[in-house]
Chain A
Amino acid sequence: MNGAGPSIAFWVLAAVTLIAGGGVMLSRSLFHAVLLLILTFVGIAGFFVLLSAEFIAMAQIIIYVGAISVLVLFAILLTPRAGRYNGETKMLLPALLLSVCLAAVFLFVIRDAAWPTVTAEPHFNTNQLGEALLSTWVLPFEIASVLLTAALVGAIMLARTPQEEAEDALA
């Protein structure tokens, strides 16, 4: 990936994504953490565009920025007395140690491994992705749809109040 455009895009996106990701960790308010999380999702979508995965980028915007962050915001609003405090447990130090060690291992591997890479720009498009999804990977695709339905029905069951359950039992 040569040229000034992709380079500038990469460094800007990397800065936005990592700073917003760090903000999720550092912000004391749960609301601010969610807003920074949304910024991280947008940055990742930018990376997907940069990596010529347009469909994934759109899916990222619609599902993560649109749906999942609204779900998280709803969950925060539905737990009012639990507080908006985004503090840490006593496990902060071990967790920090583990994360830093893991990051060091990852960075060494990334630096030292000889990654076989293509030099030419690949020609991805959404057609190819759709064909792959509905020919080679059609069985996992269907299983994923069943899983999603089951999970959403389960989520509705879990989130019902006891009164609603009693009403449903009478009906």
Chain B
Amino acid sequence: MSIGIEHFLTVGALLFCLGLLVALSKRNAIGVLMGVELMLNAVNLTLVTFSRFSTSERPITGQVFVVFVITVAAAEAAVALALAVSVYRNRETVDVDRINLLKS
């Protein structure tokens, strides 16, 4: 059985939905961040798949976009984890249900 674009896209879509589930449902802020990383990885997989199977004249553009996504993901992870450490220092928790200072 030959492997086509649909197979890779299916893995990417399922991984994205898993990441969404983790990001929306986890109690720990670091767990939420792991869900976001999963979603970014799924999108990268989809972009590289389209780049590989694209009929465009310059399919390498898809990989260029993945480089940017990885850069922004690294920046996002650094800032988010610094925020988690900072919140923990002030509140002694990273439970997203208990970080509710702005709740009236």
Contact = CB atoms under 8 A, between A and B. Distances in A.
A41 to B, nearest CB: 7
Contact of B27 (A67, A78, A89, A103): A89
B85 A117 contact: no
Contact of A82 (B24, B67, B93): B93
Contact of A41 (B16, B41, B75, B97): B41
15 contacts: A10-B7, A18-B14, A24-B34, A37-B38, A41-B41, A53-B63, A76-B30, A86-B31, A95-B20, A117-B5, A124-B60, A148-B71, A151-B75, A151-B76, A152-B75
B76 A144 contact: no
Contacts of A152: 75, 78
Given A56-B48, A124-B60, A161-B89, A64 B41 contact: yes
B37 A37 contact: yes
A135 B79 CA distance: 30
A2 B7 CA distance: 13
Interface residues of A, number: 91
Interface string B17-54: 11111101111101101110110010011001101111
Contact of B18 (A18, A75, A122, A156): A18
Contacts of B51: 51, 53, 124
Contact of A53 (B10, B18, B52, B94): B52
Interface residues of B, number: 76
Most A CB contacts (10 A, CB to CB) among B9, B28, B53 go to B28
Interface of A: 1-3, 6-7, 10, 14, 17-18, 21-22, 24-25, 30, 33-34, 37, 40-41, 44, 47-48, 51-53, 55-56, 59-60, 63-64, 67-68, 71-72, 74-76, 78-79, 81-83, 85-92, 94-96, 98-100, 102-103, 106-107, 110-111, 115-118, 122, 124, 128-129, 132-133, 136-137, 140-141, 144-145, 147-148, 150-152, 154-159, 161
Contacts of B1: 7
Contacts of A3: 2
A137 B54 CA distance: 19
A57 to B, nearest CB: 9
B78 A71 contact: yes
Tell which of B31, B45, B72, B79 has the most Cβ of chain A within 10 Å: B31
Contacts of A76: 30
Closest 9 CB pairs of A and B: A151-B75, A95-B24, A106-B13, A158-B82, A155-B82, A103-B17, A155-B78, A75-B81, A99-B21
